[in-house]
């Protein structure tokens, strides 16, 4: 089953199926690791992000379930995050090198990439308990699958449509508020919040796409591009934090100066471009969007009402 909820099917069944599939995929990739442990962890964490967004969609209906399972999945992801985060920093330095403003900066950033690769390899060698944590995490995922058996959503199709409309409104409003906070003297956390809310918004367009396939796809694609841009902004902030926390890694002062200059320049450019895209993605009024979703869901699932 794809990451989608069909409007003409029982919502509880659809919710459980989508969640179970994501959990089973996360468990399978940790067990099989077709591209190695660290890529498996990356895929696993993406599955868990999708799940946490799905659970936020129904948070008002099942608050205890959402709070408990969100904490379970968050802790599981964090337990396997260190090496993957170290690998992500390498990608960030490579991203900076690709947009280097001259050969001297490019060469300096190339040396930074090499330093970060060495740091990742050292951290990987020090992770002597990785296998144990992978095994423990598989057990956590099985517990999360079992927990889905206790989730049930009462009410008919009309109530489900109303519930989805309310959830959509909350998500869109939070995204609008996050976007407003990113203007002016915004912090890295402000842009990270916008990224998280955009991620939910993008996934909800995928989950509910059967209600209005063409329009949902166009908006989902635009939101996906924005999430990627905001991801670069977040990664640059994390790299900047590493420079502050572990300055001993960067033994050449000129390389460090090039790195900091590149981070500042790229952050400014990426923030400017992301804000332009975000204004387009979130141009609709949240109340109007929510009403549209509710009506579309009712219409798309109308055949079920007469079964």
Tell me the whole-structure pTM to 2 decimals. Answer: 0.92
Residue 94: partners with Cβ closer than 8 Å, 6 or more residues away: 113
Q: Secondary structure of 154-192 in the HEC alphabet?
A: CCCHHHHHHHHHHHHHHHHHHHHHHHHHCCCCCCHHHHH
Q: Give the sign of the dihedral formed by CA 43, CA 47, CA 53, CA 56.
A: negative
Task: Note the pLDDT of residue 303.
Answer: 53
Distances (CA, A) of 230 to 64, 261, 269: 31, 19, 12
Residue with tokens 């981070």: 263
Instruction: Find the helix packing angle between 157-181 and 286-300, rounded to 10°.
Output: 150
Distance CA(166)–CA(172), nearest Å, equals 10
Render each residue's pLDDT in the chain as its tens digit; 307 residues. 589 999 999 999 999 999 999 999 999 999 998 888 888 898 999 999 999 999 999 999 999 999 999 999 999 998 888 878 898 999 999 999 999 999 999 999 999 999 999 999 888 888 778 888 888 999 999 999 999 999 999 888 999 999 999 999 999 999 999 999 999 899 999 999 999 999 999 999 999 999 999 999 999 999 999 999 999 999 999 999 999 999 999 988 899 999 999 999 999 999 999 999 999 999 999 999 999 999 999 998 775 444 4
Task: Note the pLDDT of residue 82.
Answer: 83
Question: DSSP secondary-structure letter at 79?
Answer: H
Task: Note the pLDDT of residue 1.
Answer: 59
Angle at 117 between CA 113 and CA 121, to 5 degrees: 175
Task: Note the pLDDT of residue 35.
Answer: 87
Q: How many CB atoms lie within 10 A of CB 167?
A: 21
Distance CA(213)–CA(195), nearest Å, equals 24
Distances (CA, A) of 51 to 60, 66, 180, 204, 291: 16, 10, 27, 11, 25
């Amino acid at each position: 089953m794809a990451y989608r909820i069909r409007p003409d099917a029982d919502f509880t069944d659809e919710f459980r199926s989508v969640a179970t599939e994501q959990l089973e995929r996360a468990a399978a990739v940790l067990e099989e690791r077709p591209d190695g442990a660290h890529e498996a962890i990356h895929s696993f964490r993406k599955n868990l992000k999708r799940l946490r967004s799905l659970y936020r969609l129904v948070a008002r209906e099942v608050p205890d379930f959402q709070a408990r399972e969100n904490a379970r999945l968050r802790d599981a992801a964090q337990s396997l995050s260190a090496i993957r985060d170290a690998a992500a920093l390498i990608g960030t330095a490579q991203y900076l090198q690709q947009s280097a403003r001259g050969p001297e900066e490019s060469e300096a950033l190339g040396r930074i990439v090499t330093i970060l690769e060495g740091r990742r390899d050292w951290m990987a060698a020090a992770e002597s308990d990785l296998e144990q944590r992978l095994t423990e995490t598989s057990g956590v995922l099985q517990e999360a699958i079992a927990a889905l058996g206790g989730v049930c959503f009462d009410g008919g199709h009309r109530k489900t449509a109303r519930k989805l409309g309310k959830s959509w409104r909350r998500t869109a409003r939070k995204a609008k508020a996050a976007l407003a906070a990113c203007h002016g003297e915004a912090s890295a956390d402000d842009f990270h919040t916008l990224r998280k809310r955009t991620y939910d918004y993008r996934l909800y367009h995928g989950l509910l796409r059967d209600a209005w396939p063409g329009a949902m796809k166009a908006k989902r694609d635009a939101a996906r591009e924005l999430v990627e841009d905001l991801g670069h902004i977040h990664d640059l902030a994390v790299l900047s934090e590493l420079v502050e926390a572990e300055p001993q890694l960067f033994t050449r002062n000129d390389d460090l100066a090039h790195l900091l200059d590149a981070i500042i320049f790229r952050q400014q450019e990426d923030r400017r471009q992301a804000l332009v895209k975000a204004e387009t993605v979130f141009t609709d009024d949240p109340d109007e969007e929510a009403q549209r979703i509710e009506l579309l869901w009712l219409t798309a699932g109308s055949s079920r009402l007469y079964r």
